[in-house]
Structure 1
Amino acid sequence: MNTELVGQVLKRVRTKAYASRMAELAQLLGTPSAAETARIAIFFGFTIGRDLELPRVTGMVMERSLMMGHEMHWTRPFFPDEEVEVTVTLKNVIDKPDREIAVVETIFDTPAGEEIQRQCSTFVTFKAPRA
C-alpha cells in the first residue's frame, strides 16, 4: 500500500442522499425500522461514487483484502435528496511482515459544513507470498 498517502485526502466529492436509494434500501431490508435505518446507512464511505477508485489509489489489492471493522458515528440521519460533501482520508497504514492494515475515514458534511456522519473502515490486505 502507498504509505505516502497517510493523512491525505483521497477523495472529495459532492453527492446526494437520494430518496430513491433510501427507498430501495428500506425495501430490501424489509423490517419495521427499515426506513430509519436507510437514512443512516445509505453510504459506505470507502466506495463513495460506487467505484473502486480508492483501492486503486491506495494500492490495496482487493483480491487479498478483508474488512476488519467498520464504525459509524452520526449527528443525525440524512434527509432525502440532501446535498452531501464527502471527504475520504487515509488515516493510517500499519505494515506487518505478512499483511498491511489500512484505516480509512469518511466524513459526510452538509455544504454549510455541518457534520452529518463519520465512518471509519479498517481493512487488512495480505501480502503476496514470496517466491
Structure 2
Amino acid sequence: MIMCKFSIIFDNSILFDKNIVTVLVESYIKFNFKLIIWSKAQDGRRVHVIERDLSEPDRIVGELLQPGGYLKLIELGLEGRRIMNFEIDAQQVFGYALFKDGKRTRLSYPLENFHSDVSGRSFHNGRFIQRMREKAASLPKYAFSPF
C-alpha cells in the first residue's frame, strides 16, 4: 500500500500477503488509515510508515467516533476504554440533537444491548494520532521514519 498526500493505491494481493513490506508515505493520515495500518501490522505483516513529521499535529481537528468504531478499537486490541477516557480526553457522545426553525429533537444511539461504556466519542485528533504511533511502535514488525 502506498499513499502520497491523499492518493491511495490498494492492491488486494499485497494487502493479504503476510510477507510483503507495506510502505506508507504520508503528509497527514486520517484516523481510519491509522487503524488500517495498525491492523495490518498486528496480523504479522511488516509495515514501514514514512511520515513527513512525527510530532503531534499543531492544529485543532476534532473527531467523532461512532459507537461501532469504539467497539472496533477494542476488537483490534487498542484498549479503547483506556485510550479514549484517559489518554486523549475523549468525551462520551450518546446521540445527536437537531435544531431547525425553533424546533428540536434528540436522536439517541441504540445502545441498550451494549456495556454501559459503549458510546460515541468526541476527541482531539492529534492526541489520538500520537497514541496510535506509540502503540504501533510497540509492534515488532513496525517501523517509522521521517522523509
The TM-score bracket by the shorter chain reads under 0.3
What TM-score do you get using the length of structure 2 for normalisation? 0.23
Larger Rg: 2
> Which structure has the highest strand share of the two?
1
TM-score w.r.t. length of structure 1: 0.25
